[in-house]
Amino acid sequence: MSRTIMEPSINLNILLIEDNPGDAFLIKFYLEESVLKYARLLHAEFLKTAIDLLQNNEFDVVLLDLNLPDSKGIETLETVLEASQGSVVIVLTGLNDEELGLQTVKKGAQDFLVKGQFDGKVLTSSVRYAFERYQLQKQVLSYSLQLNESNNKFDLAQEACEFGYWELNVKDNSMHWSSNLYTLFAEADPKRATNLTTLLNLLPAEAAQLAEKQIKQAITDGAAINFSFSLKGHHFNCFAKPSKDTGTLQKIAGIIKKVS
């Protein structure tokens, strides 16, 4: 079960990379006086030491000073990001430079704080929300990968079973075809599948009339669509059903399958 940062007793693993003793002491004090007081905090003054720690431990959050004795500027961030896969990185900079801060975020930092311009409350909030945001991003990425995998499997199924998926938006008559439907219809130009008319124009006249009639009927009373036709020496079956959202007909979705 994933952890939630909103719980005050959460045991975050935090790595502080900071060579200035005064700044390091202040950050530790801020954390100890906050809801993050239960965090396991390790401290490194050199980039090399930090990399060793990152390679041998798992950290939820890295608080990073860009300017260290053995590394300076954006290169410090790039090195830490490469070594801290799966960690939230928050940059600590002594320069009141918004442009530098924006650069660090573009490079992959979750947030940046200017030393001397934040207190314990701001630091705690930055850690909490950056960690929460990062966890959400990972979930979205995971769901996206799962969806892509499902879509790939669906595409393979269409190819193997010789059918194609189509969807009609009844509000504006716009259409979406799956890639395999282009193959079945021997259509190479995706721009042709923009609306209902393009589909009807591909069908033989009798089949087009039947399709148009059944689609109108589906829009009127929600009836299913089911008809057959021949095209370019092959026989096809078309089946589709209307789909409603909160009681209102939104789309008609179905398949066209090659049967011989």
CATH of the domain at 43: 3.40.50.2300
> What is the Cα–Cα distance from 76 to 73, expressed in whole angstroms?
6
Residues 66 and 122 in one domain: yes
Give a yes or no: residue 150 inside a domain: no
Residues 25 and 129 in one domain: yes
Residues 39 and 132 in one domain: yes
Task: Read off the tokens for 247.
Answer: 């009681």
The total domain count for the chain is: 2
Residues 132 and 20 in one domain: yes
Residues 46 and 138 in one domain: yes
Give a yes or no: residue 46 inside a domain: yes
Mean per-residue pLDDT of the chain: 81
CATH of the domain at 192: 3.30.450.20
Residues 96 and 197 in one domain: no
In terms of pTM, does the model score above 0.95? Answer: no
pLDDT at residue 188 is higher than 70: no
pLDDT at 37: 85
Residues 105 and 196 in one domain: no
C-beta of residue 88 within 8 angstroms of C-beta of residue 105: no
Q: Which of the residue ranges 58-72, 86-100, 106-120 would you say has the lowest mean pLDDT?
A: 86-100
pLDDT at 1: 37
* Residue range of the domain that includes 214: 162-258
pLDDT at 191: 52
Residues 139 and 224 in one domain: no
pLDDT at 6: 42
Residues 46 and 135 in one domain: yes
